[in-house]
């Protein structure tokens, strides 16, 4: 890595050059290429990542055709994190808290594609009744605690859910209360105060929470190494006496295994984990971003790490499913997404007279 020195009037600022470090770290992480999953699990992971990828591609198409408004942040490239974490957890039992890059977390958590697409179109049939849009997906039924436009906003909410789980068990005597919360957020968000405050409390009270950092190297146009004194985020767990782990976030099996370790600690009362997943977004920050800042060679490096391709290689190597089976899963997903678009296009807009409905709980 070549340091870059910037002279200002008052000080000399040295920061890392863009590129290098993030990818070097990935190359040094343990690969799961020799891990064999069972067929059902492999196909579940393949299906979920394919749904995430193709749903987002359809969103881009709909956005550019003027069917979707406002800011839309896509998740392409990061699917192994959503699928690896959420599919290791218990549906409708554990809890998930997202960011503005939330469509795929919602899908992994089981929110139907019809409800997610309707929300993006601002329709009454959306999971947030059309009042939230892309950045504010929410589903009580699927334990999705929300998407949040402000960075770091979801971390304290997730902490509250983890506290509730512990409180129900320890103070209210509900021995079945062993739910764990996964809080997703980005590398840029780790420089915000909520991150540090919530890590402190979570470890102090040994709360059942996994802080999942999706380190995609970029916070809009700010490279992680230029903004962060210690770019290895997982090491920050140490300051709180917490378990920290870094994992290849392009490898769904590795993410799943790291999550399983964190879940075991959380359910047995050992407390939280800071899980840093090294990943990359394949598209610009949002659909309004022409993505001209990032180097082509960097994009090419990460494109070769596509999590869908590496899972397919693992499936092939272990002869868990044939290529034609995987292609037919893709076809099924495509029809599910086309159905979601049809459904959303034909759904009703919210009634303007009910604009303030759902702001407060009844």
Ligand X SMILES: Cc1ncc(C[n+]2csc(CCOP(=O)(O)OP(=O)(O)O)c2C)c(N)n1
- Which of 6, 220, 239, 345 touches ligand X by CB under 6 A? 220
Q: Compare residues 165 and 228 and give the one whose CB is closer to ligand X.
A: 228
Interface segment toward Mg ion; rule CB under 5 A; list 2-10, 39-47, 137-145, 215-223: 215-223
- The residue of the chain with the least Cβ separation from Mg ion equals 186
Cα–Cα distance, 254 to 105 (Å, whole number): 18
Cα–Cα distance, 256 to 249 (Å, whole number): 10
The distance of closest approach from Cβ of residue 291 to Mg ion in the complex, given in angstroms and rounded to an integer, is: 13
Please state the length of the chain.
Answer: 362
- Which of 74, 113, 219, 341 touches ligand X by CB under 6 A? 219
Cα–Cα distance, 36 to 42 (Å, whole number): 9
Cα–Cα distance, 157 to 152 (Å, whole number): 10
Q: Compare residues 157 and 227 and give the one whose CB is closer to Mg ion.
A: 227
Q: Compare residues 6 and 220 and give the one whose CB is closer to ligand X.
A: 220
Q: Compare residues 278 and 347 and give the one whose CB is closer to ligand X.
A: 278
Alpha helix (H) residue ranges in 109-192: 113-120, 154-170
Cα 306 to Cα 43, 109, 206, 326: the distances in Å are: 17, 22, 35, 16
User: Tokens at residue 263, please?
Assistant: 């879940």
- Which of 32, 216, 310, 314 touches ligand X by CB under 6 A? 216
- Which of the choices Mg ion, ligand X, none does residue 220 contact, using the CB cut-off of 5 to 8 A by kind? ligand X
Cα–Cα distance, 67 to 120 (Å, whole number): 9
* Total site size for ligand X, rule CB under 6 A: 15
The distance of closest approach from Cβ of residue 157 to ligand X in the complex, given in angstroms and rounded to an integer, is: 14
Asked if residue 84 binds ligand X (CB under 6 A), the reply is: no
Q: Helix, strand or coil for residue 201? A: helix
Asked if residue 189 binds Mg ion (CB under 5 A), the reply is: no
Asked if residue 216 binds Mg ion (CB under 5 A), the reply is: yes
Which 150-189 residues touch ligand X, going by CB under 6 A? Answer: 150-151, 185-189
Is 245 within 8 Å of 256 (Cβ atoms)?
no
The distance of closest approach from Cβ of residue 222 to ligand X in the complex, given in angstroms and rounded to an integer, is: 7
Per-residue interface string for the shown chain with ligand X, residues 244-283, x marking contact by CB under 6 A: ----------------------------------------
Asked if residue 146 binds ligand X (CB under 6 A), the reply is: no
Is 134 within 8 Å of 70 (Cβ atoms)?
yes
Q: Point out which residues pair with 353 in neighbouring strands.
A: none
Q: Which residue has the tokens 């996964």?
A: 182
Q: Is 101 left (phi over 0), alpha (psi -120 to 50) or beta?
A: beta
Asked if residue 143 binds ligand X (CB under 6 A), the reply is: no
Interface segment toward Mg ion; rule CB under 5 A; list 8-16, 147-155, 218-226, 332-340: 218-226
Asked if residue 218 binds ligand X (CB under 6 A), the reply is: yes
Is 127 within 8 Å of 162 (Cβ atoms)?
no
Asked if residue 165 binds Mg ion (CB under 5 A), the reply is: no
Nearest to 58 by CA among 333, 348, 350: 333
Is 266 within 8 Å of 180 (Cβ atoms)?
yes
Sign of CA dihedral 293, 298, 303, 307: negative
Interface segment toward ligand X; rule CB under 6 A; list 17-25, 47-55, 136-144, 211-219: 211-219
- Which of 19, 112, 152, 186 touches Mg ion by CB under 5 A? 186
Q: Helix, strand or coil for residue 159? A: helix
Is 124 within 8 Å of 130 (Cβ atoms)?
yes
The distance of closest approach from Cβ of residue 224 to Mg ion in the complex, given in angstroms and rounded to an integer, is: 7
Asked if residue 187 binds Mg ion (CB under 5 A), the reply is: yes
Task: Say how far residue 41 (Cα) sits from the centre of its chain.
Answer: 20
Interface segment toward ligand X; rule CB under 6 A; list 21-29, 50-58, 145-153, 267-275: 145-153
Q: Which residues of this chain interact with ligand X, rule CB under 6 A?
A: 101, 149-151, 185-189, 214, 216, 218-220, 285
Where on the chain is the footprint of Mg ion (CB under 5 A)? 186-188, 216, 219
């Amino acid at each position: 890595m070549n340091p870059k020195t910037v002279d200002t009037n008052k000080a000399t600022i040295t920061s890392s050059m863009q590129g290098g470090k993030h990818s070097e770290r990935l190359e040094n992480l343990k690969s799961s290429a020799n891990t064999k999953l069972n067929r059902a699990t492999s196909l579940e992971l393949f299906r979920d990542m394919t749904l995430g990828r193709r749903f987002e591609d359809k969103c881009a198409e709909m956005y550019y055709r003027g069917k979707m408004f406002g800011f839309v942040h896509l998740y392409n490239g990061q699917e192994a994190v959503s699928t690896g974490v959420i599919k290791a957890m218990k549906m409708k039992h554990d809890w998930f808290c997202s960011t503005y890059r939330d469509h795929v977390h919602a899908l992994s958590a089981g929110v139907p594609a019809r409800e997610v697409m309707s929300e993006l179109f601002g329709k009454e049939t959306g999971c947030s009744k059309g009042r939230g849009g892309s950045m504010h997906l929410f589903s009580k039924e699927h334990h999705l605690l929300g998407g949040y436009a402000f960075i770091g906003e979801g971390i304290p909410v997730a902490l509250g859910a983890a506290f509730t789980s512990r409180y129900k068990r320890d103070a209210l005597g509900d021995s079945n209360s062993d739910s764990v919360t996964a809080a997703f957020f980005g590398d840029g968000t780790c420089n915000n105060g909520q991150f540090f405050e919530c890590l402190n409390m979570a470890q102090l009270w040994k709360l059942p929470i996994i802080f999942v950092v999706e380190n995609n190297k970029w916070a809009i146009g700010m490279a992680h190494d230029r903004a962060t004194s210690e770019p290895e985020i997982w090491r920050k767990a140490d300051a709180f006496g917490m378990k920290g782990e870094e994992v290849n976030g392009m490898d769904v099996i590795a993410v799943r295994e790291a999550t399983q370790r964190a879940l075991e600690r959380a359910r047995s009362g050992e407390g939280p984990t800071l899980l840093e997943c090294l990943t990359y977004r394949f598209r610009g920050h949002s659909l309004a971003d022409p993505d001209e800042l990032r180097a082509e060679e960097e994009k090419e490096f990460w494109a070769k790490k596509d999590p869908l391709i590496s899972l397919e290689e693992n499936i092939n190597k272990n002869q868990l499913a044939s290529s034609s089976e995987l292609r037919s899963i893709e076809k099924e997903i495509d029809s599910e997404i086309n159905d979601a678009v049809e459904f959303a296009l034909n759904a009703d807009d919210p009634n303007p007279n009910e604009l303030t409905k759902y702001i407060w709980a009844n």
